[in-house]
């Protein structure tokens, strides 16, 4: 399949989330060879089957990204299949912890920072030697604009997203020496964005009120961020790195 990403080999993690699947579908239709991973075997198989029904070139593996050996096996399998890995999209698992940050337990803190900061960092470390073989290696972190402006109902999650914004900058500086680009896509109030924020469960009346806060006047589907992911993965973004790119309909967060 021809397109902006024709011939590119891309890994996408946590494919069983609505956001992960939307990204895979967009990149696949753009011509990328997809390698998708997830911790759940049945959900992974379902995603592979659905993507193949669309005529996309896709393979997958069940991976526990917490496990160093699993990560190593994942990248070795990708290298054996495609020879070169061009990009990795580090997609977050869905957040289920809600509430005020001051109510978080020590276990909550450790778990959240492991899922949303440690794992993206470890995945970047594991991927770097393989991405360095590409002519346009890139890492994309999927984040939330809650990292810029925290929400009380997802306080600890917001803090982890702020940490990812800094991680993006630091890893970009380090991996730039290896010609690997690192960027993040920061989602605004989007349906099924994986944050677990109040807009995910809002009724129609509440959504209408929220939409009035957004200059473009509506709350989008998560698929509306995937064109940016496609661009950042492509050769058209070869000189873009270290950027936290916001997709939020015009809600002002920074100059």
Using CA atoms, how far apart are residues 20 and 229, in angstroms rounded to an integer?
11
Q: Is 82's pLDDT higher than 70?
A: yes
Q: Is 171's pLDDT higher than 90?
A: yes
- % of the chain with per-residue pLDDT over 70: 99
**Cα end-to-end span (Å), the chain:** 39
Locate all alpha helices (DSSP H) within the chain, ordered by sequence: 18-29, 41-53, 68-82, 106-113, 119-131, 155-175, 204-211, 226-233
Q: Are 186 and 148 in contact (CB under 8 A)?
A: yes
Q: Are 4 and 30 in contact (CB under 8 A)?
A: yes
Using CA atoms, how far apart are residues 164 and 9, in angstroms rounded to an integer?
24
- 135-157 residue pLDDT tens: 999 999 999 999 999 999 999 99
- pLDDT attached to residue 253: 74
* CATH class as words, domain 9-247: alpha beta
**Domain residue extents for the chain:** 9-247
pTM for the complete prediction? 0.95
Q: Is 95's pLDDT higher than 80?
A: yes
- pLDDT attached to residue 64: 94
- Mean pLDDT over all residues of the chain? 95
- pLDDT attached to residue 200: 83
Q: Is 255's pLDDT higher than 70?
A: no
């Amino acid at each position: 399949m021809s397109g902006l990403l024709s011939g590119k080999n891309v890994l996408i993690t946590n494919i069983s989330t609505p956001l992960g699947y939307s990204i895979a579908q967009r990149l696949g239709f753009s011509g990328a060879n997809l390698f998708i991973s997830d911790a759940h075997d049945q959900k992974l198989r379902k995603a592979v089957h659905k993507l193949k029904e669309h005529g996309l070139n896709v393979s997958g593996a069940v991976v526990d990204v917490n496990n160093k050996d699993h990560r190593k096996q994942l990248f070795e399998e990708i290298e054996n299949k495609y020879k070169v890995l061009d990009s990795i999209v580090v997609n977050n698992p869905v957040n289920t912890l809600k509430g005020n940050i001051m109510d978080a337990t020590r276990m909550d803190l450790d778990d959240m920072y492991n899922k949303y900061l440690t794992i993206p960092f470890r995945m970047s470390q594991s991927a770097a030697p393989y991405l360095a073989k590409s002519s346009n290696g890139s890492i994309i972190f999927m984040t939330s604009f809650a990292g810029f402006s925290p929400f009380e109902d997802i306080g600890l999650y917001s803090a982890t997203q702020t940490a990812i914004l800094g991680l993006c900058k630091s890893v970009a500086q380090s991996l730039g020496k290896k010609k690997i680009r690192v960027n993040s896509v920061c989602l605004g109030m989007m349906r099924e964005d994986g944050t677990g924020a109040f807009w995910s469960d809002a009724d129609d009346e509440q959504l209408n009120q929220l939409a009035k806060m957004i200059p473009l006047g509506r709350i989008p589907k998560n698929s509306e961020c995937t064109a940016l992911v496609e661009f950042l993965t492509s050769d058209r973004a070869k000189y873009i790195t270290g950027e936290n790119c916001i997709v939020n309909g015009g809600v002002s967060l920074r100059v």
